[in-house]
Amino acid sequence: MLKLYKGLKSYVKQLILMVLLLFVQAFSMLMLPSMMSLIIDRGVVQGDMNYIVTAGIIMICITLAGSVSAIGVGYFASKVAVGFCTDTRKKLFRHIDRFTMEEFDKVGTSSLTTRSTNDILQVQNFTIMLFRVIILAPIMCIGGITLAFQKNATLAMVLVVCMPVIVVFLVLVLRSAFPVFRSMQAKLDKVNLIIRENITGVRVVRAFTAEQREEKRFEEANEDMTRTSTKSQVKVSTLMPLLMLIINLGTVAVVWFGGQQISQGVIQVGDMMALIQYLMLIMYALVMMSLIFALMPRASVCAERIMEVLEIKPAIKDAVNPKIPEKKTGIVEFRDVTLAYGNSDTPAVSGISFTAMPGQTTAIIGATGSGKSSVICMIPRLRDPVQGTVLVDGVDVREYDLDALRKRIGYVPQKSNLFAGTIRSNIAFSNEDMSDGQVERAARIAQADDFISKKELGYDDPVAEGGTNVSGGQRQRLAIARAMATNANIFVFDDSFSALDFKTDAAVRRAIRESTQDATVIIVAQRVGTIMNADKILVMDQGKIIGEGTHEELLRTCGIYEQIAKTQLAGGGEEE
Ligand SMILES: Nc1ncnc2c1ncn2[C@@H]1O[C@H](COP(=O)(O)OP(=O)(O)O)[C@@H](O)[C@H]1O
Ligand SMILES: [Mg+2]
């Protein structure tokens, strides 16, 4: 929690102002009981009307000053807390933006969403409370007791006895509540996960009529959270009645001893009234503090969860002395590269060595799970190899200026995401200020201009979140167009033609080749027809390259390739 609060540094001025106002507020609250006791003892008992009026006016002024300060404190507390949490959210978002796939896997998408929304809100609400109480409550406790001693030491002792009892109760209750709060946030994560899975996967859920099972899964998670939430609330809610009991017993004690002393003439009625009010003030302070303590476990769990994300060091960082090669020809070279996921001992791919030359098409073919995507995701450094090097124009990609590297690569991932917006905004994703000409050229290469022009609004037709309102083949073509609209000279297509019919597939590839002349093109595919014209074909099996050459060469030298080709081409009609 404290670590997170370091971000408050930029709000020092507002915080100082707030503290000053807090002092005014505390002063006015402490003054009022003394004033009242004076009015009773001097004004009411002695029948001095003038004194009552003057003292009354002063009391009103003090109250006004106190109220105005309280409003000011509330204003600054909210302003600082909200501003601070907005900053944190921004920081979190920027930080997550730099995460590699590895880190996303580690925390989980739903949890990241909860942490950047709900968790920050919890911290914000707590911070507002904290600001309003942190200084006020101790001043009122100490001030109340000091003033009480001035009035009457015997009665003040009652307050001194009450306070530690209250504190002990607070500690006991909150200690037992803390672990419950932690598990509550985890359960909220679970609920969010199920909601997210069901919203994004609504088609699958319906198609497999899994609604009932999913509803049950959700209900279980939801009830689990409810149970935990109730448990924590029950624990916290024992605080207030206990507190009230102690306070009421305290009041009775003050009246009991006070009554005896009044009848003995030691103190006056006003003094005893003032003491009761001090007791109330102290109670008020303690209640506020207990609220803080009640909110604190949850908020600090939330703060920890935020810090946990902020403290993850993205594995892929920009190089210390980033390099950019002198000649950007576009040679991509793999030297004995091994990639493993997470802490897995068995690598997903190993011993990968090959070179992709500019002006040529290099293809990778292999069964699903053979490691094709794993190989190419290392080129734009979505993941780094555990062994070996990937070089672009002779520079190790880990030493390459990360932005410059990625700008050179037009990458179409296997699962191409579209963003909510228009067709134009999706194609011009790499550069908002892209000219219409460039957008249309890219669409033509991807053979997307045809279906785009049939849309009601053409390029301005809306695209839904995740691109759910266009067909699979259209989505793939838009993703290809998005890559073609960049100024890259290395293009990487991860199974990007799978949803296209053979004719479109061939047309897209021909257009890509024509428009990219000297560029390096790397194509991952499962269909032999898609890659048989490539200058070089790599055959992958179980994380290794088991064959390399042209279509004709591989038919002769690579048994697995021959087999794939035979079964796939048997139907015929796949040639360009
Ligand atoms: N994010 C990941 N975490 C752990 N293992 C993964 C991950 N992605 C892929 N793998 C594993 O790596 C292997 C290669 O997968 P992948 O490169 O996607 O194959 P392909 O693209 O050829 O279908 C598979 O065994 C797969 O289970
Ligand atoms: Mg793949």
Task: Give the domain CATH number at 16.
Answer: 1.20.1560.10
Query: Do residues 359 and 259 both lie within one domain?
Result: no
In a domain, 316, yes or no: no
pLDDT at 542: 94
CA distance 81 to 54: 40
In a domain, 179, yes or no: yes
Structure tokens given for 334: 């793999």
Taking only the tens place, the pLDDT of each residue in 486-512 is: 989 999 999 999 889 989 999 999 999
pLDDT at 571: 60
509 C-alpha to center of ligand 2: Å?
19
- pLDDT over 80 at 170, yes or no: no
Q: Is the CB of 367 under 6 A from ligand 1?
A: no
- pLDDT over 60 at 277, yes or no: yes
575 C-alpha to center of ligand 2: Å?
24
pLDDT range class, residue 328, cuts 50, 70, 90: confident
Q: In what order do the strands lie in the sheet with 409-412?
A: 409-412, 490-494, 520-525, 361-366, 536-541, 544-549
**Domain termination residue (choose one: 262, 280, 311):** 311
In a domain, 44, yes or no: yes
Query: Do residues 301 and 362 both lie within one domain?
Result: no
CA distance 363 to 492: 10
Query: Do residues 339 and 240 both lie within one domain?
Result: no
Range of the domain at 489: 332-569
* Sign of the alpha-carbon dihedral angle for 400, 403, 407, 413: positive
Q: Domain with 515 in it: what CATH number?
A: 3.40.50.300
pLDDT at 182: 77
In a domain, 318, yes or no: no
pLDDT at 314: 82
Helix ranges, 115-152 (H) = 120-133, 136-151
Q: How many CB atoms lie within 10 A of CB 179?
A: 12
Mutate to test the pocket of ligand 1, among 343, 373, 538 (most ligand atoms within 8 A of CB): 373
Query: Do residues 508 and 558 both lie within one domain?
Result: yes
Do you know the residue count of the chain? 576
Average pLDDT over residues 458-487: 91
Which letter does DSSP use for residue 247 in this model?
Answer: H
In a domain, 317, yes or no: no
Q: Is the CB of 373 under 6 A from ligand 1?
A: yes
More confident site: 478 or 170: 478
| Residues forming beta bridges with residue 391, ordered by sequence position | 333, 396
Taking only the tens place, the pLDDT of each residue in 434-467 is: 999 999 999 999 999 999 999 999 999 999 888 8
In a domain, 326, yes or no: no
φ, ψ of residue 487 in degrees (nearest 5) = -95, 30
Nearest-CA residue for ligand 1 atom 6 is 341
Q: Is the CB of 100 under 6 A from ligand 1?
A: no
Q: Report in angstroms the alpha-carbon separations of 378 from 337, 372, 409.
A: 10, 11, 12
Query: Do residues 350 and 434 both lie within one domain?
Result: yes
Q: Is the CB of 111 under 6 A from ligand 1?
A: no
Query: Do residues 200 and 305 both lie within one domain?
Result: yes
- pLDDT over 90 at 313, yes or no: no
Taking only the tens place, the pLDDT of each residue in 197-212 is: 888 788 888 888 889 9
Largest CA distance in the chain: 119
CA distance 495 to 387: 25
**Domain termination residue (choose one: 311, 346, 381):** 311
Query: Do residues 255 and 399 both lie within one domain?
Result: no
In a domain, 327, yes or no: no
Query: Do residues 340 and 269 both lie within one domain?
Result: no
What are the residues whose beta carbons fall under 8 Å from the beta carbon of 47, sequence distance 6 or more?
A: none
349 C-alpha to center of ligand 2: Å?
12
Query: Do residues 344 and 286 both lie within one domain?
Result: no
3-state secondary structure 57-98: HHHHHHHHHHHHHHHHHHHHHHHHHHHHHHHHHHHHHHHHHC
Q: What is the DSSP string of 521-567?
A: EEEEES-HHHHTT-SEEEEEETTEEEEEE-HHHHHHH-HHHHHHHHH
Query: Do residues 184 and 296 both lie within one domain?
Result: yes
Q: Is the CB of 371 under 6 A from ligand 1?
A: yes
47: phi > 0 → left, psi -120 to 50 → alpha, else beta; which? Answer: left
Atom of ligand 1 nearest to the CA of 371: 17
CA distance 568 to 527: 7
CA distance 351 to 363: 17
Taking only the tens place, the pLDDT of each residue in 101-141 is: 778 888 888 888 888 988 999 999 999 989 988 888 888 88
In a domain, 322, yes or no: no
374 C-alpha to center of ligand 1: Å?
6
Query: Do residues 190 and 104 both lie within one domain?
Result: yes
Q: What percent of the chain lies above the pLDDT cut of 90? A: 50
271 C-alpha to center of ligand 2: Å?
82
- pLDDT over 70 at 576, yes or no: no
CA distance 391 to 381: 11
Query: Do residues 490 and 423 both lie within one domain?
Result: yes
CA distance 71 to 63: 12
Tally of domains within the chain: 2
Task: Give the Cα-Cα-Cα angle 276, 282, 284 (nearest 5 degrees).
Answer: 105
Structure tokens given for 310: 């902020």
Taking only the tens place, the pLDDT of each residue in 12-44 is: 999 999 999 999 999 999 999 888 888 888 888
| Residues forming beta bridges with residue 352, ordered by sequence position | 337
